[in-house]
Structure 1
Amino acid sequence: MWKRALDRAGVREPRLRRDYAKQRRAARRYRTAEYAAARLLLPASLLPHVVTAVAFMHDTDERIDRGTPDERVAALAEWDGLVRKAFAEGDSGLPVLRCLVRTSERHPDVRAHVEEFLRGCEREVAWRTIADDEELERYVREYCLPALMLTACLFAPGDGEARTAFTDGCHRLIRAMQRIDFLEDLPEDVRAGRVGVPADAVARHGADLTRPGAALGRLVEEQADRAAADLAAVSLADVVAPSYRPFVRALVGVQHLRLDAMRRAGASLATRTSGPPAPAAALLLLRETAARARRAPGAGPRRLSGK
């Protein structure tokens, strides 16, 4: 399937095929459930470009997420220079940037979203705490949404009104995902001294983020409710082309699974991470894969065996 995807994506040069394979492995490690959804549910011609966008986003995050604030700023400046050089020269010594350049040639919208994402990284390297929901909204709008749009732009509708609705849906989706991320990663973020759960909410509940307790449980439930409200308002499948709908439904469905797991974990998130249960995620993907197969061109009604 992967070789066919590369063929359909127009990636035929041996070196680039190896480069794209590296991005595929990186994307699979970073978001296992979401990668499985893309592999099973997206058109083959789009898959290499989606995994490249995800791998680029993750590579960027890894480069700017370590060290002191000054070191992070310096890392971003260096990375920004490498990305711009790759686009200017049409090549790079880094596989992820070689793939990004090719993907941008095939899908020109990607280039503009790369620019916006890199500008948003300035907020990512600068923040130490999130004061309240207003600051969380700025963080989502300036950094998280551009990060999501690196991939989402690949299947965004072309019509202006539909595209506006699509971007709004992506905004709500990523805001929910970021709330979930901040709680799923709570122990790691506490150790790093960069907690993304809004500080006013922590104070309001009197929660101790380092140990389980009733106050932390109430905080988790409140943040879960706010994420759930955003997920309930997401209607992306209504505005994308039919061939992308199974993937979009699966992507949103995985976030519901993450949210449910977070609720079950509750105050124990102080000491452990959570994530979507593998059996439930697999069942979701199987259901959408079957729905996609039924809607495929030439797929006729199934005959009953009579057994």
Structure 2
Amino acid sequence: MMLWSRTLHAGGVDDERLRADYTTAAHYMARMEPFTYPALRAVLPPAWQPHLLAAFAFAGRTDDLADLPPTRRHSGGFHVWAEQTEHGLTTGSSTHSLLRAFLHTVAVNGVPHAHVRDYLAGQARNLSFVGFATDEDYYRCLDSVAVPYLTLICSSRRPGATDRVSHSLLGLVADAAQRVDDLADLAADLRVGRLHFPQTTLTCFGVTRADLESGHQTPAVRAFVTHACRQARTVLDIAQDALRHADAEEQLLLYPSLVAKQHLLGGIERQGADITRRTVTLNILPSPTELLGGTLRTLHARMRVATTYARP
């Protein structure tokens, strides 16, 4: 792992104030994503890292302000943040250090302002989330929040990255990640009054919200959880297969997150219907075979990316 000062230089961040701003973004990510941060620092090209951390920090801060449980929901903080971001996009400056770093990444890497505004608009709609009536509602939310999030991240890694974003691939990755996270967080979501599974699916299995909140492992609840796990596994397998055919940069950026979701889903499947009572945590100790396979794939993708950069 390269020293942070050298990583900033590799990313073209040499101004002292900006270096402090990017360091603030990195510290924010290290606190909020203690597993993602070291993986990003260890795996991704140093030139990408400051900009990706700034984008992750901006997106994370936005999500923190928008994705509040119904019992604690208020829109004031989010709207102030959205206005600060819009002002920053217009003027190129901000009084917020985390936002300054992100705005610099947007400017130097040519991130379309529309990508930022699409993500903010999706999160604004998230403020009124009360649940999904149908699968169509789920996919609309996916397209308005999760896909714009990944688009924003992928577009931020380097200049010209926007032209290489595969929206169909991002849709699959977003769907897989969302389904796994919704299962892992089911118990925590139920405690604060949230439920991310469509009502039509619950009705199909004869399960009510009260059944899930009670934590009783009835045959209907077990059947519902088994079905949701199978759906998540199917989408995850499809996303991983699509990623095998993607270009080296997309593989390098997205593969680690899908590996993490695969391990998390394994824990969910082992826990079964008990996920209504206990939040599932990520198992960060892969088997030797998985570790070797993941390491070789990551090294191969890094070599392909390095070869691409080396071409005249």
Give the TM-score of the pair, scaled to structure 2: 0.83
Counterpart in 1 of 2:38? Answer: 36
Shift of 1:10: 0.9
Letter of the 1:171 partner, please give it. Answer: G
Deviates further, 10-19 or 255-264: 10-19
Q: Structure 1: which amino acid aligns with 2:16? A: P
> How many residue pairs were aligned?
294
Aligned to 1:169: 169
CA offsets 1:262-301 (integer angstroms, 9 cap, x no match): 111211111211132011299856654455556649x9xx
* Residue type of the alignment partner of 2:224: L
Superposed CA deviations along residues 97-148 of structure 1, whole A, max 9, x for unmatched, are 0111111012112532111101111221111111121110000011111112
**2:274 counterpart residue number:** 268
1:254 counterpart = 2:256: no
| 2:184 corresponds to 1:181 | no
**Cα gap change, 1:46/1:130 in structure 2, threshold over 3 Å: closer, same or farther?**
same
Residue 172 of structure 1: how far off its partner (Å): 1.1
Structure 1 pair 292–77 and aligned structure 2 pair: CA distance change class (3 A) = closer
Which residue matches 2:226? 221
Unaligned runs of 5+ residues in structure 1 are 300-307
Aligned to 1:196, the other structure's residue is in SS state coil
Deviation string 1:7-47 (CA, Å, 9 cap, x unpaired) is 11111122322222222232233334333332222111001
Q: Which runs of 5+ in 2 are unaligned?
A: 307-312
CA distance in 1, matches of 2:70, 2:92: 32
Q: Report Cα offsets for 1:43-69 as digits up to 9, x if no partner.
A: 110011111111111111111234769
- The residue type paired with residue 234 of structure 2 is A
3-state DSSP class of the match of 1:209? helix
Is contact 1:37–1:247 with CA below 8 Å preserved after alignment?
no
- Alignment check: 8 A CA contact 2:119 2:145 kept: yes
Out of 152, 155, 158, the residue aligned to residue 153 of structure 1 is 155
* Deviation of 1:218 (Å): 2.0
The verdict on how the C-alpha distance between 1:247 and 1:61 changes in structure 2, with shifts beyond 3 A counting, is: closer
Question: Could you say if the C-alpha distance between residues 217 and 16 of structure 1 is closer, same or farther in structure 2, counting changes exceeding 3 Å?
Answer: farther
| Cα deviation digits, residues 75-117 of structure 1 (max 9, x gap) | 3322211101122232212121011111101211253211110
- The percent identity for this pair of structures is 26
Matches within 5 A, 1:53-64: 53-64=55-66
Contact in 2 for aligned 1:37/1:285 (Cα 8 Å): no
Give the superposition deviation at 1:253: 1.5
Amino acid at match of 2:245: D
Indicate yes or no: 2:117 matched with 1:112.
no
Q: Call closer, same or farther: CA 1:29–1:226 in 2, change over 3 Å.
A: farther
Measured in 2, the distance between the counterparts of 1:283 and 1:24 equals 31
Hey, what does 2:309 align to over in structure 1? none
* In the alignment, structure 1 residue 52 sits paired with structure 2 residue 54: yes
**One-letter code of the match for 1:231?**
L
Q: Which residue of 1 aligns with 2:200?
A: 200
Taking the aligned partners of 2:54 and 2:291, their CA distance within structure 1 comes to: 21
Q: 2:86 aligns with which of 84, 87, 92?
A: 84
Return the alpha-carbon distance in structure 1 between the equivalents of residues 292 and 280 of structure 2. 22
| Partners of 2:270 and 2:31 in 1: CA distance | 24
Partners of 1:184 and 1:159 in 2: CA distance: 31
Going from structure 1 to structure 2, the CA distance change for 1:220 and 1:127 (only over 3 Å counts) comes to same
**What SS does the aligned partner of 1:274 have?**
coil
1:205 is displaced (CA, Å) by 2.3
| Partners of 2:223 and 2:17 in 1: CA distance | 52
Q: How does 1:227-242 map to 2 (within 5 A)?
A: 227-234=232-239, 235-240=242-247, 242=248
| 8 Å contact kept, 1:20–1:99 | yes
Aligned equivalents of 2:196 and 2:180: distance in 1?
A: 10
**Aligned position for 1:302:** none
